[in-house]
Structure 1
């Protein structure tokens, strides 16, 4: 059990930001990463649809054999985390609670901003988590669906991305926030532009980074740490989408070369692809 990999699921490439942090913090562990690029983005989808897709990804990795599952997608965490915790016989960790707790620690003026997909923002889960810990906080929420598209299209370093980020974040300028939760794991790839748009005084909280700190604690508490003598991570990357696009982003962001990416087809994808091709 201990030497089984840790599973990470995401709607696309955004969860690679979580995997990158996991590689850094957990050098002895192995990982399966599954990105549902074929059906990304999740943010504007119906909640039941998000649950269905998330469960499909989780089941796929469970069949592969994993000891812990990280739901690296905020939208999927909001919709399906409780369902997966009841369904699966292994620990399941989402990205919302760790990010919320980190933001509370960082804020000085009690004004916290949250940016995410429409699904994440509409769920109200971040404000709920934040207020549950401190009811004197002022929370400013902003849906930024354009950001996921920029990252999935590998445009996150372009002038186009800079202009879009600046425009979309403009409503937060009057909110006097000193802390911003990047409530989507795609967003850290746009972090330089987000920081410039809001100013250096605003602390950015990467929920993925905070999540891996929680994973370390769970591995320790449940005695699930790897006992392997390997001195580097074993990583398997899987996607339901375009292999070349996924590989290009993964190699750049993870600073790995000649990595192998495998394409998988989940339960309902064939039907969707058929409809799109009609």
Structure 2
């Protein structure tokens, strides 16, 4: 089916999911929208996150997408069921794939989750994990400084290390987790620093790979996969600064992006 897959995120973090989609589904065209102007979503009230998410969805629906990937954990926590009920295309979030991957990896069933305030307060990950296995002990921890740092393009160096160390020290000191879920799609952009702070004995889980695998499975089931031969032309939209978005996209996707435009989606 020659229609694009839509990917939405509160900013640049969803590029971690887009990268996996491009790797696992090399024939599929992506249309990505990052709401960098209003990022982060984590500290925002639930109703505001729902409003902003729907504004992004409506923008992508005009592009005739065949499937929607909600690459923002906060938006997934607050809107996924609503989107699935109201849209007539498949919708995939990032929380359940990440939870399943963590359970596969953990040996002691002590799993940590880090995310924005919104994601952590929603308890979406503990619910997803304990539905599968009620014996799992979950330690979740909000890291509100991470998303603004990543959105500013600070992905390495002493400043990034200081922020990560200060944010994760309480989680590291108090618990014996062997697996840590990066419950925000921005966080894989600073994965190496998180690993350094937590230690090599802790398995780091990013939901991008599992999410892409789920997208592939669902599209195959619904007969929505593109069956021809092509090199797809992906399109990227941002509500914020183009230069910052392009800089981070080039680093994370490891390639130049040929189409990036400003999107005006706010109805305020």
Shorter-chain TM-score bucket reads over 0.9
2:104 and 2:125 map into 1 onto residues whose CA distance is 15
> Is 2:157 the counterpart of 1:158?
yes
TM-score (norm. length: structure 1): 0.94
2:20 and 2:192 map into 1 onto residues whose CA distance is 17
Partners of 1:14 and 1:187 within 8 A in 2: yes
Runs of 4+ in 1 over 4 A off after TM superposition: none
Deviation at 1:197, TM superposition (A): 0.5
> Is 2:55 the counterpart of 1:72?
no
Residue of structure 1 in register with 2:265 after alignment: 266
SS at match of 1:64: coil
Residue of structure 2 in register with 1:206 after alignment: 206
SS at match of 1:38: coil
Deviation at 1:260, TM superposition (A): 2.6
Q: Where in structure 2 are the equivalents of 1:7-86 lying within 5 Å?
A: 7-86=6-85
1:71 and 1:142 map into 2 onto residues whose CA distance is 22
Segments of structure 2 that go 5 or more residues without pairing to the other structure are: none
1:207 and 1:255 map into 2 onto residues whose CA distance is 19
1:159 and 1:238 map into 2 onto residues whose CA distance is 31
Residue of structure 2 in register with 1:133 after alignment: 132
Deviations 1:237-264 (A, max 9, x none): 0001101110111111111125331001
Deviation at 1:67, TM superposition (A): 0.3
1:111 and 1:7 map into 2 onto residues whose CA distance is 34
Residue of structure 1 in register with 2:187 after alignment: 187
Deviation at 1:165, TM superposition (A): 0.4
Deviation at 1:204, TM superposition (A): 0.6
Structure 1 vs Structure 2 CA RMSD:
0.9
Q: How many residues align?
A: 267
Residue of structure 2 in register with 1:4 after alignment: 3
